[in-house]
Amino acid sequence: MCSSLTVHSKDELKDWNDIKGRTLKRLWVKIKHPLHGRQRLTQLEEKEEKEYLAAFTTEKTAQARLEAAEAQISDLSKQVADVSRAAAQHDAVRAQLSQLYSSVFDGPTPAFPLEDIKEQAYNTALQQYNLVSSEVLTQLTDRPRRQWSTRSARSSCSPRLTRTWPRRRRLLAL
pLDDT tens string, the chain, 174 residues long: the values are 567 777 777 777 777 676 666 666 666 666 666 666 667 777 777 887 888 888 888 888 988 999 999 999 999 999 999 999 999 999 999 999 999 988 887 778 888 888 889 988 999 999 999 999 999 988 888 766 555 545 555 455 555 555 555 555 555 555
Report the pLDDT value the prediction gives residue 91, as an integer from 0 to 100.
96
Give dist(CA 130, CA 132) in Å, integer.
Answer: 6
Those residues with Cβ within 8 angstroms of residue 122's Cβ, 6 or more apart along the chain or in another chain: none
Instruction: Map out the domains of the chain as residue ranges.
Output: 2-106, 108-141
CB atoms within 10 A of CB 36: 10
The pTM is what?
A: 0.42
Report the pLDDT value the prediction gives residue 169, as an integer from 0 to 100.
52
- Residue 95: helix, strand or coil by DSSP? helix
